[in-house]
């Protein structure tokens, strides 16, 4: 059974690889640095997905679901990066639709992490997740409408920023922030603080990319994509690693 599964996985992986390698136009040019950044991030996402799913067994039971979600985030992003890379390498255009579909799935999962990390230690109210979810939707819908040209780019930016600020309010001063502060659990307080820094500093890279891509006179697809790719590397992989490190520092982990 195990062998059969491995075989099926290998077959699927090979199909994906040959699909990319067939057409001459899809080969990566040696001076296409944006395309190279798509490649680098996709492979890092693949490696972290394997890492999180394997490491899941080594953390205390209460933290396991958080590590699973971290692996889902990088796994989902890996698949999207395969497509985004192809769009970029073949057309030289920003893969905006794939990018936002990826964000639409992975950002709510990252928000779920704040809830799960709180729930790993104490009882947590699910209202925390729903409020973070509303902030996420406002942020991403505003950004998408602006980037895809449905509304004015500045208006899209303002709506997106409002959603992000709402998320920051919740994790710093709202119920989520207060719960973490009064939990009295060292691993949780450290992890929560680091996750909050990522959502503040790491996430700030996205609106910067948006500004450089759309608002500083003329649109620059190359810098926009390099900035977004670097941000995804940090905010998806490092975010998961922070949770993993906190979980590993908890007493009672499996040896």
Ligand X SMILES: *C/C=C(C)/C=C/C=C(C)/C=C/C1=C(C)CCCC1(C)C
Binding site for ligand X (CB under 6 A): 103, 106-107, 110, 139-140, 143, 157, 160-161, 164, 203, 206-207, 210, 232, 235-236
C-beta of 41: minimal distance to ligand X in Å?
11
Classify residue 93 as exposed, middle or buried by CB count within 10 Å of its CB (0-12, 13-18, 19+): exposed
C-beta of 226: minimal distance to ligand X in Å?
14
Determine the Cα–Cα distance for residues 146 and 139; give it in Å rounded to an integer. 11
Residue from 136, 141, 134, 133 nearest 157 by CA: 141
φ/ψ region of 29 (left if φ > 0, alpha if ψ in -120 to 50, else beta) reads beta
C-beta of 115: minimal distance to ligand X in Å?
16
Contact 109, 72 (CB under 8 A): yes
C-beta of 72: minimal distance to ligand X in Å?
12
- If the CB atoms of residues 116 and 206 are measured against ligand X, the closer one turns out to be 206
Q: What is the DSSP letter of 211?
A: I
Residue from 137, 119, 120 nearest 175 by CA: 119
Give the nearest residue (CB) to ligand X.
143
- If the CB atoms of residues 192 and 210 are measured against ligand X, the closer one turns out to be 210
- If the CB atoms of residues 146 and 185 are measured against ligand X, the closer one turns out to be 146
- If the CB atoms of residues 17 and 201 are measured against ligand X, the closer one turns out to be 201
């Amino acid at each position: 059974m195990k062998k059969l599964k491995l075989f099926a996985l290998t077959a699927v992986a090979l199909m994906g690889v040959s699909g990319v390698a067939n057409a001459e136009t899809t080969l990566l040019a040696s001076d296409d640095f944006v395309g190279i950044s798509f490649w680098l991030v996709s492979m890092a996402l693949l490696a972290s997905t394997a890492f999180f799913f394997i490491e899941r067994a080594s953390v205390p039971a209460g933290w396991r679901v958080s590590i699973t979600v971290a692996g889902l985030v990088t796994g989902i992003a890996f698949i999207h990066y395969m497509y985004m890379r192809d769009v970029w390498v073949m057309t030289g255009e920003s893969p905006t639709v794939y990018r936002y579909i990826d964000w639409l799935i992975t950002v709510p999962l990252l928000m779920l992490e704040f809830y799960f990390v709180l729930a790993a230690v104490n009882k947590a109210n699910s209202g925390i997740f729903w409020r973070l979810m509303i902030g996420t939707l406002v942020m991403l819908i505003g950004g998408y409408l602006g980037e895809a040209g449905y509304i004015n780019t500045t208006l899209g930016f303002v709506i997106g920023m409002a959603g992000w600020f709402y998320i920051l309010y919740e994790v710093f001063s709202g119920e989520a922030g207060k719960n973490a502060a009064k939990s009295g659990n060292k691993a949780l307080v450290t992890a929560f603080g680091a996750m909050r820094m990522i959502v503040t500093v790491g996430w700030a890279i996205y609106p910067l990319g948006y500004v450089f891509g759309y608002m500083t006179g003329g649109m620059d697809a190359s810098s926009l994509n390099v900035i977004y790719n670097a941000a995804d590397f940090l905010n998806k992989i490092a975010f998961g690693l922070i949770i993993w490190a906190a979980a590993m520092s908890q007493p009672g982990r499996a040896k």
